[in-house]
Chains A and B, each alone.
Chain A
Amino acid sequence: MRDLTLPSSPTFWRSPVRGTRFTSLLGLALLVGIPVVFATGLLSYAAYNPDLSPVNDQTPDKGLLGGYLFPWPTDPHWLYRLTQGVHVTLGITLVPVLLAKLWSVIPRLFAVPPARTLARALERLSLLALVGGGLFVFATGILNIQLDYLFPGSFYRLHFYGAWVFVAALALHVALRLPAALRAVRRRGGPPEGGADSGASDPGASDAGASDALRPAAPTTSRRGALWFVGAGSLLLLGTTAGRSFDGPLRATALLAPHGWAEPGDGPGGFQINKTAASVGVTPEETAAEVWRLALVGPAGTVRLSRSDLAALPQHTAALPIACVEGWSTSDQRWRGVRLRDLAGLAGHEEGSVPDVLVTSLQRSGAFRRAALRANQVADPRSLLALEVNGAPLTPDHGFPARVIVPAAPGVLNTKWVARMEFRQLSARDGGDR
Chain B
Amino acid sequence: MTGRRSLRAATGSPVVLVLLGCSFALTGYAGVRLLEGDWFMILLWVVGAAFLHDLVLLPLYSALDRAATRACAALGWREAVVHVRVPAALSGLLLLLWFPLISGRVAERYAEVTGLSGSGFAQRWLLITAALFALSGAALLVRLRRAAKQRPPTDH
What is A's interface to B at a CB cutoff of 8 Å? 59, 61-65, 92, 95-96, 99, 102-103, 106, 109, 117-120, 122-123, 126, 128-129, 131-133, 135-136, 139, 142-143, 146-148, 151-154, 157-158, 161-162, 164-165, 167-169, 171-172, 175-176, 202-204, 218, 220-221, 225, 229, 232-233, 236-237, 240, 255-259, 261-262, 264-265, 272-276, 278-279, 397
Contact = CB atoms under 8 A, between A and B. Distances in A.
Interface string B114-130: 11110011001100100
Given A164-B30, A256-B125, A171 B23 contact: yes
Given A220-B82, A262-B117, A152 B37 contact: yes
A261 B46 CA distance: 32
B137 interface: no
B12 A131 contact: no
Given A103-B58, A128-B50, A204-B12, A152 B45 contact: yes
Nearest to A152: B41
B75 interface: no
A157 B82 contact: no
A126 B17 contact: no
Interface of A is mostly: helix
Contacts of B138: none
B21 to A, nearest CB: 9
Interface in B89-146: 89-90, 93-94, 97-98, 100-102, 105-106, 109-110, 112-117, 120-121, 124-125, 128
Given A146-B106, A256-B125, A229 B86 contact: yes
A129 B86 CA distance: 31
A133 B17 contact: no
For the complex, would chain B's binding face be called helix, strand, loop or mixed by DSSP majority?
Answer: helix
Nearest to A119: B12
B46 A168 contact: no
A392 B155 CA distance: 75
B10 A117 contact: yes
A152 B47 CA distance: 14
Considering the complex of A and B, which 10 residue pairs feature the smallest CB-CB distances, nearest first?
A119-B12, A117-B12, A164-B30, A152-B41, A161-B34, A168-B26, A172-B23, A135-B49, A132-B50, A148-B100
Given A63-B29, A164-B26, A258-B110, A148 B105 contact: yes
For chain B, the bracket of interface size reads: 35 or more
A218 B78 contact: yes
A240 B94 contact: yes
Contacts of A128: 47, 50
A64 B109 contact: no
Interface in B34-61: 34, 36-38, 41-42, 44-50, 53-54, 58
Contact of A204 (B13, B78, B100, B106): B13
Contacts of B20: 119, 122-123, 126, 172
B33 A65 contact: yes
Nearest to B98: A256
8 contacts: A96-B93, A118-B17, A122-B24, A157-B33, A165-B31, A165-B46, A256-B94, A262-B117
B121 A256 contact: yes
B49 A158 contact: no
Given A147-B114, A172-B19, A265-B115, 17 more contacts: A103-B58, A119-B20, A131-B50, A153-B38, A168-B24, A168-B30, A172-B23, A202-B13, A221-B79, A225-B82, A229-B89, A236-B90, A237-B97, A257-B98, A258-B110, A276-B113, A397-B115
A115 B96 CA distance: 33
Contact of B29 (A64, A146, A265, A273): A64
A56 B154 CA distance: 78
A421 B85 CA distance: 58
B32 to A, nearest CB: 9
Given A117-B11, A164-B26, A259-B116, A147 B37 contact: no
